[in-house]
Amino acid sequence: MRSSEGGNDDDPEDPGGRTSRGIIQREYTAWRELQGEASKDVWTASEDEILDIYRVQYWSPYGDLMPRGADYQFFDMNVNHGLHNATTILQRSLGVNPDGHVGVVTLAALRKADPKVLVPRITKERAQFYRSLAKFWRFGRGWISRDLQVEKNALQLLGV
């Protein structure tokens, strides 16, 4: 996952702003505040801090409920798009109402889903999401490349 994020970034065209390994400054500041720590530059965040934020903010509580492969994709979408958008992409892939809420309908659809079918569907829905974004002209090639690499990794997790 960290390799998908590419380290530190502060592209003025990126609405996330100053970012390290997918963690934006605002989020890192809030996480440090929750830890009782003073604010620091996100570019100085330790690996342990980043991994803890990934676990708390992006893996829990849904990662363990996802089928293998799709769990990795959902985590990556969560980091890249936020929970609501990650959830609606997942729901469109499952063919359920994309309300942005991981509830019993989504969980039931996940339980029935064949991960070997679901993983490519997520990739397709994610690409459509990217194409709908105003900054696709600037970041689209990288986003689509990331999407395809995440799909490849997810399928490898399935032994495909």
**Residue numbers of the domain that contains 129:** 66-160
Shared domain check, 81 and 22: no
Report the half-sphere exposure of 134 (CA within 13 A, side-chain side).
Answer: 3
**Which of the listed residues 60, 80, 100 is the one where a domain comes to its end?**
60
DSSP letter for 57, please: I
Shared domain check, 152 and 127: yes
Shared domain check, 74 and 147: yes
Say if residue 12 is preceded by a cis peptide, omega within 30 of 0: no
pTM of the predicted structure, to 2 decimals:
0.90
Q: What is the pLDDT of residues 79-130, one digit of tens each?
A: 999 999 999 999 999 999 999 999 999 999 999 999 999 999 999 999 999 9
And the tokens for 91? Answer: 């729901």
Shared domain check, 153 and 87: yes
Distance of CA 85 to the CA centre of its chain: 9
Q: What is the CATH number of the domain that holds 141?
A: 1.20.141.10
